[in-house]
Amino acid sequence: MNKTTHLADSLEQVRDRIFRVCESADRDPGEITIMAVTKTVGPDDIQEAVERGLRVFGENRVQEALEKIPRCPGNIEWHFIGHLQSNKVRAAVARFEMIHSIDSWKLLEAVNAAAQEHGRSMPVCLQVNVAGESSKHGYAPDDLSATLDRIGELGYVDVVGLMTIPPFTPDPSDARPHFKRLCALRESARHDYGLSLDVISMGMSHDFEIAIEEGSTCIRLGATLFGERKRVHRG
């Protein structure tokens, strides 16, 4: 089986699974964005994914993305999903349409400054470490409000949603309480701050169906589309 067939097959299966879970969860599949996560994936496979209708692509390393993006089709929305170091903020703001992985006020200020320089407003999600894992980045749930209290000070970032990466366990349904927690945090933030926080970025290859059942609007899929990678840092 060649690569073309593999991506075509896996994408068809993913779309079918999204459709079925939406049907049983009474959700509109049109509300779910499939983000193709392309770390370690080359431009040829990305080109094919675009030909097969994908538009939103995710990268978790700025350097890898800077090298890759110029060799990829232009009609792609690139989203940053990795831990962002402050010395990479300007490059990220220039290259990405959205940053899903904001995890500190300092980073927000840096993104705000870079976006102002760039003459645009930057859509971001706040990453929440819902399970409090020491190995993962993200806000502790209790720390979100301290950031949202002051978000009006930053005129060039637009907090459009929340993102999480739950602990990996063999049984994907173990992620359910963490997904529920993220949506509950969104509800309180809506109530307390009047933000709409439309983006709920949660669900990866092994747990995206549970994430959709719990309200995800953006599932981030790598392995199930492009094949297994070497195990990498998931934070």
Ligand X SMILES: *Cc1c(COP(=O)(O)O)cnc(C)c1O
- Residues at the site binding ligand X, with contacts judged by CB under 6 A: 37, 39, 60, 81, 165, 204-205, 220-224, 234
- Please, which residue, 39 or 95, has the CB nearer to ligand X? 39
By the 10 Å C-beta count (0-12 exposed, 13-18 middle, 19+ buried), 225 is classed as buried
Q: What is the DSSP letter of 124?
A: E
* Cα(197)–Cα(136) distance, integer angstroms: 22
DSSP per position, 129-152: -TT--TTS-SB-GGGHHHHHHHGG
Rounded to the nearest whole angstrom, what is the least distance from the CB of residue 60 to ligand X in the complex?
A: 4
- Please, which residue, 11 or 154, has the CB nearer to ligand X? 11
- Please, which residue, 60 or 129, has the CB nearer to ligand X? 60
Rounded to the nearest whole angstrom, what is the least distance from the CB of residue 119 to ligand X in the complex?
A: 28
Rounded to the nearest whole angstrom, what is the least distance from the CB of residue 144 to ligand X in the complex?
A: 18
- Please, which residue, 154 or 199, has the CB nearer to ligand X? 199
Rounded to the nearest whole angstrom, what is the least distance from the CB of residue 108 to ligand X in the complex?
A: 18
Retrieve residue 217's tokens.
Answer: 């609007």
* Cα(84)–Cα(89) distance, integer angstroms: 7
Those residues with Cβ within 8 angstroms of residue 228's Cβ, 6 or more apart along the chain or in another chain: none
- Please, which residue, 141 or 172, has the CB nearer to ligand X? 172
Q: Which residue is nearest to ligand X (CB)?
A: 222
Rounded to the nearest whole angstrom, what is the least distance from the CB of residue 102 to ligand X in the complex?
A: 13
